[in-house]
Amino acid sequence: MATSIIDPSRLEKIEFSNDEIARYSRHLIMPEVTLEGQKRLKAASVLCIGTGGLGSPIALYLAAAGVGRMGLVDGDVVDFSNLQRQILHGTKDVGRKKLNSARDRIRDINPNTQVDLYDTYFTSANAREIVEPYDVVIDGTDNFPTRYLSNDICVFLKKPNVYGSIFRFDGQCTVFGPHLGGPCYRCMFPEPPPPGMVPSCAEGGVLGVLPGIIGVMQALEAVKLIVGIGEPLLGRMIAFDALKMKFREFKLRRDPKCPVCGEHPTVTELIDYEQFCGIPDARAAEEEEAHVPHITVRELKAKLDRRENFRLIDVREPFEWDICHIPGAKLIPLGQLPARLSELDSADEIVLQCKSGARSARALMLLRDAGFGKLANVEGGILAWAEEIDTSVPKY
Ligand SMILES: [Zn+2]
C-alpha cells in the first residue's frame, strides 16, 4: 500500500458541504478512499502542462474527482484541427484561448475546483515559479524541450511528474520521481534525439481516441499518488498499442550516472532547453529553406491562368493528394523524388508545392543539387492556396 503524497496536517481544515458529500458519494463508500481520501484530493494541487489531447481528459477527470486546485499552462488558441481529440474545447471555442474554454468547462464539471490559469508557454524562465506551489505535475505536451524542462524542474523541486506521450496509434505512460524511488526521464533518455528525427503528432497524426486513453491513465496515477492507494507506475512504463489493443509493461531503472538525478549530477539548474534539443539548428535549416527561390500562390494562379509552360510538382504523400490538390499538378512524393528524376526535364521551369512549403523547399534543394536550374517553391503550399485562391479546398 502506497502512502499519500499529501501531508496529513493539510487535511485538518478540509470540510465538505452536503452537495459535495453527494457529489463524491461513490468515492466515499469505497473503503480504500473514504472521506479521508476525498479530503486528500481536495487538499491536493495538480499542475497540468498543456490543455490539448492529453491535458483535456486529465483536467476533466481530476476536476470531476474532486482535486481542490488545478493549474493549467497553455499559451495556445483553439483551432478546428484540435477538436478531433481535445475534448476540453468545443466548436464554439475555435479562436478562443484554450485556457478560457478549459476554465469554463472545468467550472461546469466541478465549481469546487480552484483553477489557476497560466496563459504562457512553459519555459526555463517561468518553470520554477509555476511548478513550486503544486503537489503533482502532469506533462501533457508533445515536444522535447518541454519534456526535458518539466523533468528537470520536477527533479529539482522533488515533485512527482506523471508522463504521457502519444503518436499515431501508440501511447506510453509512467511516473517519474527520483525522490519517491523511481527514475527520471533523463535516466532513460539523457540526450534528446536529433531535431526532426522524431515526428510530432502535427506531422505524423494521432488517432483521436488515443490521448483519451493515455491522459486518463495519467489522471488515474495522479489520483493514486494523492489518495495513497495501489501501486504507482514508478519504475514501470506502460506502452499501449491501440491497433492490437495491447498493453505492455517495461521496467525502468534509475541510472546512477543520470545527469540530473544521479550520484554526481552535471545538470543542477535549468538550462536552455531549445538549445539542448537542437531547435536553433533546426530553425537555421528552416531559414535556409525559406531562402530558396519562391513564388506566392497568387503568382502561381496567374501563371496557370496564362497557361505558361511550366511543370507543377506536388511532393506530398498520395493520401494527402486524395484530400485535395491543385489542378494541373503532378504528384511525386518527396521520398520518391531522387528515384524519379528521369520524369523531369532540367530544361523545364519546375514549380514545387507541398502542404505548407517546407517539404517542397527540401525538394527544391534536392533538384538544385541534381543540376536543375529553373526552380521555384510555392510559399505556404496548398494551405495558402486554400486560404487565398480557392476557399472550397479543404485545409487539413
Ligand atoms: Zn534521472
pLDDT tens across 213-265, in order? Answer: 999 999 999 999 999 999 999 999 999 999 999 999 999 999 999 999 999 99
Centroid of ligand 1 to alpha carbon of 142 (angstroms): 20
The residue-averaged pLDDT of 256-283 equals: 90
Residue 266 and residue 257: Cα distance in Å, rounded? Answer: 9
Residue 48 CA to ligand 1 center (angstroms) comes to: 21
Give pLDDT, residue 286: 76
Give me the pLDDT at residue 56, please: 98
**Distance, CA 29 to ligand 1 centroid (Å)?**
39
371 pLDDT band (50/70/90 cuts)?
very high
**Is pLDDT above 90 for 290?**
no
CA atoms of 219 and 58, how far apart (whole Å)? 5
What band does 14 get if pLDDT is binned at 50, 70 and 90?
Answer: very high
pLDDT over 80 at 280, yes or no:
no
Q: Which of 187, 201, 261, 277 is catalytic?
A: 201
258 belongs to the catalytic site: no
Ligand 1 mean position to 46 CA, how many Å? 22
* 118 vs 189: CA distance, rounded Å: 28
Q: What are 124-166's pLDDT values in tens digits?
A: 999 999 999 999 999 999 889 999 999 999 999 999 999 999 9
Q: How far apart are the first and last CA of the chain?
A: 48
Residue 284 confidence (pLDDT): 78
Give me the pLDDT at residue 368, please: 93
Share of the chain above pLDDT 70, in %: 99
Cell 543540376 sits at which residue?
371
Average pLDDT, the chain: 94
Out of 187, 258, 261, 354, the active site residue is: 354
What pLDDT was estimated at residue 293? 92
Q: How far is the CA of 184 from the centre of ligand 1 (A)?
A: 4
Confidence band, pLDDT 50/70/90 cuts, at residue 319: confident
**How far, in Å, CA of 390 to CA of 132, rounded?**
50
Q: How many Å lie between the centroid of ligand 1 and the Cα of residue 258?
A: 5
Judge whether residue 201 has pLDDT over 80.
Answer: no
Confidence (pLDDT) at 142:
82
Beta-carbon contacts of residue 300 (< 8 Å; ≥ 6 apart) = 312, 326, 351, 353, 378, 385
Q: What is the pLDDT of residues 68-118, one digit of tens each?
A: 999 999 999 999 999 999 999 999 999 999 999 999 999 999 999 999 999
**How far is ligand 1, taken at its centre, from the CA of residue 124, in Å?**
18
Whole-number Å distance, alpha carbon 319 to ligand 1 midpoint, is: 41
Q: Which residues contact 202 (CB under 8 A, 6 or more apart)?
A: none
Q: Helix (H, G, I), strand (E, B), or coil: what is residue 74?
A: coil
Q: Is the pLDDT of residue 4 over 90?
A: yes
Q: What is the mean predicted confidence (pLDDT) over 340-364?
A: 93
pLDDT at 195 over 80: no
Closest to 48 in 3D by CA, of 37, 56, 40: 56
Provide the 3-class DSSP secondary structure of residue 121.
coil
Strands in 170-176's sheet, in edge-to-edge order, are 114-118, 69-73, 45-49, 136-139, 161-167, 170-176, 236-241, 246-251
How far apart CA 197 and CA 144 sit, in angstroms, is 11
Annotation marks residue 48 as catalytic: no
Cα–Cα nearest to 30, from 175, 173, 209, 229: 229
How far is the centre of ligand 1, averaged over its atoms, from the C-alpha of 122 (Å)?
A: 21
CA torsion through residues 76, 80, 84, 87, sign: positive
CA–centroid distance, residue 123 to ligand 1 (Å): 20
